[in-house]
Amino acid sequence: MKPNDPAITWLEEKPLGLAERLYLPLFVQGLAITARHLVSPKVTVSFPEQRPNVGNPLIYRGVHRLNRDAEGRVKCVACFLCATACPAHCIDIVATESPWPDREKYPESFQIDELRCIFCGMCEEACPVDAIELTSLLDLTGKSREEMIFDKEKLLSVFDMTKDAEPMKSAAMGGTL
């Protein structure tokens, strides 16, 4: 774009008036703004005592869970789509023949390394049966690296823990049950 392009509107700063030259408006404005903020409500969330507001839990990406179907079985069909989609390679699935007639495979073991996970939510998007979901649990801590590798039982227990507060997204969004 050239300096004389008609699309450019050149603005000139107004020359300072007497009041500005006396530094008075700046003085008053600055002090008024800081004084107002000094007493205004604070935005800090005192974390452990006070839970932060996560907004819409449907689109929040916290700790994973493995959903159960109506009979309480794991919904996962061990198709490996989530493990393939995962950019951090943190999902490790061992598939085996399913004992149930409605699917061919199911995960014998399903591990997510929460320390490697980048919480991008690609696994959730990739899953064809809406078995893996990200909850709105945000304070994920542990005392060892081993503890942070979540196995199938732990991921299912996350589901049991959060299913009342956060119903399966699949159900609300018309996915497969």
Partner 1 sequence: MNSFLPSLPTIVALVKIGLLVGGLMTAAAYLVLVERWMAAWVQDRKGPNRVGIPLTKIRLFGLGQPLADGLKIIMKEDFTPRHVDKVLYTAAPLVILAASLAIFAAIPFGSSLPPIPALGLTGEEPLLVAPGLDVGVLWVFALSSIAVYGVLLGGWASNNKYGFLGGLRSSAQLVAYEIPLGLGLLGIVLAAGSLKLDAIMNAQASSGVWYAFAQPLGFVVFFVASFAEAARLPFDLPEAEQELVGGYHTEYSGIKLLLFLVAEFLHMVTAAFLIVIMFLGGWHFWGLTGSGEVGTWTVALLRFAVLSAKIFAVILFFMLVRWSWPRFRFDQLMNLAWKVMLPLGLLNLVTVAAIEEFRPWLTATFGTGGATAAAIAVPWIVFFVGWIVSGVLTPSGTDNTPIRTRGPLDAEHALGAGRREELVEA
Name the site residues for partner 1 (rule: CB under 8 A). 2-4, 10, 13, 15-16, 18, 20-23, 26-27, 30-31, 33-35, 37-44, 46
Residue 48 or 101: the one with the smaller Cβ distance to partner 1 is 48
* Residue pair 91/131 in contact by the 8 Å Cβ criterion: no
- Closest contact distance (angstroms) between CB of 27 and partner 1 is 8
- Closest contact distance (angstroms) between CB of 133 and partner 1 is 34
Spell out the alpha helix ranges (H) of the chain.
Answer: 18-21, 24-39, 81-85, 122-126, 152-162, 169-172
> Residue 121: how many CA atoms within 13 Å on its side-chain side?
9
Residue 3 or 99: the one with the smaller Cβ distance to partner 1 is 3
Q: Pick the closest to residue 66 from 127, 148, 120, 119 (CA basis).
A: 127
Residue 127's DSSP bridge partners are none
- Closest contact distance (angstroms) between CB of 16 and partner 1 is 5
Residue 43 or 70: the one with the smaller Cβ distance to partner 1 is 43
- Closest contact distance (angstroms) between CB of 12 and partner 1 is 8
26: CB partners within 8 A, 6+ apart: 20
Residue 29 or 96: the one with the smaller Cβ distance to partner 1 is 29
